[in-house]
Amino acid sequence: MEKKLFYTAYALIVFMVLASCENKSNISQAIYFVENIQPIKDSVSKSGTYDIKLIVCSLKKADQHNLVILSIPDTPYLVKNKCQYKKIDGTDILFIDYDEEIVPADIPKDLLEKNLIRLDGKSKNTDPPFLKFVFCKNDFSSVRCFDNMMQDSLSYKLMKEKKTYSDKLFFPKCQ
């Protein structure tokens, strides 16, 4: 009986360790998607041809989809949540996890010095232009992209037709 209990406890501990290894943060997943999904990577690369000072990237998860949002905020951007800074293809990107509290040690000093971000209330975050990339969790090649103008146009059209708008209208069908 004691052996059975010991092996059960051991198996449970091993399972918990393995399960925790699979639980990546939203920020690390967002970085992975930006660096490895070609349409997203291309958009970041092309941003260098414009006078974009900062891109703010976040990740939202739905049942079958991931949604990577790249926005171009007015600077300085007011940081209120956990973030991580990374320069990709010459572009300053601030990865934000809106579900986690800000961690002072994670504040990118480079962006503070360039006055691209702030930590106090002297800056307002308005609704900036954005690109949203949506794809099936099990199929990264199913990427669809839409921006705020496409979203507003469809929303306005549906409102005139007295229909309901949802971002899900842009989502690919998943298996």
The answer to whether the bond into 76 is cis (omega within 30° of 0) is yes
- Report the predicted TM-score, pTM, of the whole model to 2 decimal places: 0.80
DSSP letter assigned to residue 85? E
Q: How far apart are CA 84 and CA 87, in angstroms?
A: 10
pLDDT for res 23: 57
Phi and psi at 97, nearest 5°, equal -115, 105
pLDDT for res 143: 96
Q: C-alpha distances in angstroms, 125 versus 8, 51, 151? A: 51, 19, 20
pLDDT for res 22: 44
Q: C-alpha distances in angstroms, 134 versus 23, 38, 53, 137? A: 21, 13, 24, 9
Dihedral over Cα of 79, 155, 40, 64: its sign: positive
One digit per residue, pLDDT tens: the chain, 175 residues? 555 433 333 333 333 333 334 457 999 999 999 999 999 999 999 987 888 889 999 999 998 999 999 999 887 888 889 999 999 988 999 999 999 998 888 888 889 998 888 887 666 667 789 999 999 999 999 999 999 999 999 999 999 999 999 888 999 999 8
pLDDT for res 5: 39
Q: How far apart are CA 83 and CA 104, in angstroms?
A: 10
